[in-house]
Amino acid sequence: MPNSTEALTSSDFEVRTRKPRILFFDIETAPLRIYAWKTWQTDAIKVEKDWYMLSWSARWKDGKQVTKCLADYEGYEPTSEDDSQLVTELWQLFEKADIIVGHNLDRFDIRKTNTRAILNGLKPTSPFKTVDTLKVAKRHFAFTSNRLDSLGESLGLGRKVKTGGFELWESCMKGIPSAWAKMKRYNAKDVTLLIKVYDKLLPWIGNHPNITVITDQEYGCRNCGSKALTKRGFSFGPTGKRQQYKCSDCGSWMSGKHIKTADIR
């Protein structure tokens, strides 16, 4: 703010807008090592080794993608299960995020990351909103499969990297360098495909976190923040109506403020 001798200008009262910090991410984890009486859909008798994080890939919207695995950190040795540095670096990204996007995010990736965070002595990050593309697909469509790979194929957006099965995870746990390289490619492609699926589903996400609130915009598309809105008729309720708008960029629909109508009785 100017000092007491400076005149105030209109710019001193402008709301400073910023881009929303939207983080796309995906993790890969090691399996549990258990004892069991059967090999199919059975409860574990004993857990010999707990799961841990193998890798993650993340990208800020309109930013660069970063992919990390256990083998990327100083002090790593083959068969190491210490994911503290891996989890901490991902946790630092969470701290900066307004919105986090993932596929099966709420049931798997967030809860798994939270678990490794607390086990590694980390405190909660600042609050953020989430968008789970799996939930969006289930809510609005009837795809034959809602798996990310299947959605990518159905929507013409591409496919996941083929891993060759569990052998890749097993080789990573043994510390084989070529396996780590392939795991990172697989993990990174998942995020690349996730972003494409999110962009395709975006206009269907009626409960998307409101971008204009996050960025302090006076008006704009609640889903993408664009100001390219066009009036497209009205929506009607029992006591009035609302102006409808369509975003020319992402294709989302939204309604304006309530307009009261005369009460005729």
pLDDT at 256: 79
pLDDT at 69: 98
More confident residue, 249 or 16: 249
State how far the Cα of 27 lies from the Cα of 53, in Å rounded to an integer: 7
Question: Does residue 260 register a pLDDT over 70?
Answer: no
pLDDT at 50: 96
pLDDT at 233: 85
Contact 209, 129 (CB under 8 A): yes
Report how far apart, in Å, the C-alpha atoms of 5 and of each of 1, 2, 13, 195 are. 11, 8, 17, 50
| 187 Cα distance to chain centroid | 14
| Range from 146-150, 160-164, 192-196, 256-260 carrying the lowest mean pLDDT | 256-260
Question: Does residue 164 register a pLDDT over 90?
Answer: yes
pLDDT at 23: 98
The CA-based dihedral angle spanning residues 248, 254, 256, 262, taken in that order and rounded to the nearest 10 degrees: 120
Closest CA to 28 of 219, 159, 182: 182
Per-residue pLDDT, averaged over 75-82, amounts to 94
Stated pTM of the model:
0.88
| Range from 13-27, 59-73, 208-222, 225-239 carrying the lowest mean pLDDT | 13-27
Per-residue pLDDT, averaged over 228-245, amounts to 87
Across all residues in the chain, what is the average pLDDT?
91
pLDDT at 261: 62
Contact 151, 137 (CB under 8 A): yes
pLDDT digit string (tens) for 95-154?
999 999 999 999 999 999 999 999 999 999 999 999 999 999 999 999 999 999 999 999
Per-residue pLDDT, averaged over 189-210, amounts to 97
pLDDT digit string (tens) for 2-54?
443 454 444 443 445 578 999 999 999 999 999 999 988 788 999 999 999 99
pLDDT category, 238, cuts 50, 70, 90?
A: confident
